[in-house]
Amino acid sequence: MSSASSITEFLLLAFTDKRELQLLHFWLFLGIYVAALLGNGLIITAVVCNHHFHSPMYFFLLTLSLLDLASISTTVPKAMANSLWDTRAISYSACAAQVYLFLFLMSAEFSLLTIMSNDRYVAICKPLHYGTLVGSRACVHMAAAAWGSGFLYALLHTANTFFIPLCQGNALEQFFCEIPQILKLSCSDAYLREVGLIVVSLLVALGCFVFIVLSYVQIFRAVLRIPSEQGQHKAFSMSLPHLAMVSLILSTAMVAYLKPPFISSLSLNVVVAVLYSVVPPAVNLLIYSFRDKELKDAVWKLMMGLQHCMTSSEVHVCVVQIEDHGADPPGRHLKTYGREGGD
């Protein structure tokens, strides 16, 4: 894949020319990256090791954590390395690979978030049909559809973008390879075709968002019928963070990809990119685990077990056993809220 230009590398955005601030940026991104690795890694380990979490809801959460780990690993390490080594260069092929992988993972994640909203709708509004509508085979098919749609979406946009002739230099106003910044380097009207594809893609994403909102409207209507105020609070506390994360990703992505050139600024570009590419993977543990008592307890026990392994003076293979907490099957959330009063 090559464009008609002779560009062999791109120059990513340098946050600052001062060495001290470059190192500060490195340590800041390193902290965020480690938090994302630990948070998502704990979720993955807890779900895999505890048989009570072998259910559709946690299968989707496991898949989401894997996507988030991969997506943040696509952009942040390169930005960290550039700040640490005081460089801006990324090769043409590496830039194309970064664009493809990031689009693939983010589009698959948004599809998965749509599927997760449907899973919660069926679990709360149609609990008696949950086992038949969201079985193990259906979960695998839905996850495969999310990954497959992401693959095709990324392939289409990456191929279309990197076949556009570029003649406006090779400096990108972003800390990773982002399609809107690459299109600014175009020297022909061919970029309008990619802009059209972006608009269509965002309209599809907006349709998914409408579906998510409608699903949650039905969920909230069912939750408001719960007699216990504590039960209502528990249901809202588990649903609203998911809806807020979907809104954050879609709104910031629309700003990044549809914003008119005349309101462009470096600070705005960076803030928006961080909000939709870096923040979601880093706060997964807070959003999904700490709102789920069983998963929170399992993650906490896992952390304590790992700490014991690290501080133990004996040379043994450490096996962390995650205690079963008797989690209710997913399909009984509505009854659980009413019965336990939001425990």
SS (HEC) of 225-241 = CCCCHHHHHHHHHHHHH
HSE-CB at 17 with a 13 A cutoff on CA atoms is: 0
Among 145-149, 171-175, 239-243, the range scoring the smallest mean pLDDT is: 239-243
Whole-angstrom CA distances from 202 to 102, 107, 199, 262, 278 are 16, 10, 5, 21, 20
Among 71-80, 92-101, 304-313, the range scoring the smallest mean pLDDT is: 304-313
Q: Any idea of the CA torsion for 180, 184, 188, 190, to the nearest 10 degrees?
A: 0
Which among 296, 333, 288 has a CA at the least distance from the CA of 64?
288
CB 46 within 8 A of CB 324: no
* Predicted pLDDT of residue 31: 93
Sign of the dihedral through C-alpha 157, 159, 164, 165 = positive
Among 87-101, 131-145, 176-190, 221-235, the range scoring the smallest mean pLDDT is: 221-235
**What is the CA angle 291-295-300, rounded to 5?**
100
CB 39 within 8 A of CB 284: yes
- Residue 315's φ and ψ, nearest 5 degrees, are -95, 95
Q: Rounded to an integer, what distance in angstroms lies between the CA atom of residue 201 and that of residue 157?
A: 10
pLDDT exceeds cutoff 70 at 146:
yes
Mean predicted confidence (pLDDT) in 313-341: 42
Q: Rounded to an integer, what distance in angstroms lies between the CA atom of residue 53 and that of residue 63?
A: 13
Whole-angstrom CA distances from 246 to 209, 241, 250 are 8, 9, 6
Which among 312, 172, 193 has a CA at the least distance from the CA of 256?
172
- Any idea what DSSP says for residue 263? G
Percent of the residues in the chain that have a pLDDT greater than 90, as a whole number: 20
* Predicted pLDDT of residue 4: 45
* Predicted pLDDT of residue 292: 67
Q: Rounded to an integer, what distance in angstroms lies between the CA atom of residue 10 and that of residue 97?
A: 13
Mean predicted confidence (pLDDT) in 39-66: 85
pLDDT tens-digit map of 217-241:
888 888 777 776 766 666 676 677 7
Mean predicted confidence (pLDDT) in 240-254: 83
pLDDT exceeds cutoff 70 at 321:
no
Q: Rounded to an integer, what distance in angstroms lies between the CA atom of residue 137 and that of residue 134?
A: 8
pLDDT exceeds cutoff 50 at 324:
no
* Predicted pLDDT of residue 322: 42
Mean predicted confidence (pLDDT) in 49-67: 85
* Predicted pLDDT of residue 222: 82
* Predicted pLDDT of residue 147: 93
Of the ranges 22-31, 52-61, 231-240, 314-323, which is most confident? 22-31
CB 187 within 8 A of CB 26: no
CB 185 within 8 A of CB 168: yes
Sign of the dihedral through C-alpha 271, 273, 275, 281 = negative
- Residue 285's φ and ψ, nearest 5 degrees, are -60, -40
Percent of the residues in the chain that have a pLDDT greater than 70, as a whole number: 80
- Band of pLDDT at residue 290, cut at 50, 70 and 90: low
pLDDT exceeds cutoff 90 at 119:
no
The reply to whether the predicted model has a pTM over 0.85 is no
Mean predicted confidence (pLDDT) in 37-53: 84
Tokens 């408001």: give the residue: 224
Mean predicted confidence (pLDDT) in 98-107: 94
Q: Rounded to an integer, what distance in angstroms lies between the CA atom of residue 112 and that of residue 115?
A: 5
Of residues 292 and 267, more confidently modeled: 267
Among 110-119, 120-129, 130-139, 313-322, the range scoring the smallest mean pLDDT is: 313-322
pLDDT exceeds cutoff 90 at 102:
yes
CB 77 within 8 A of CB 33: yes
Q: Tabulate helix, strand, coil % of the chain (nearest 5).
A: 75, 5, 25
pLDDT exceeds cutoff 80 at 340:
no
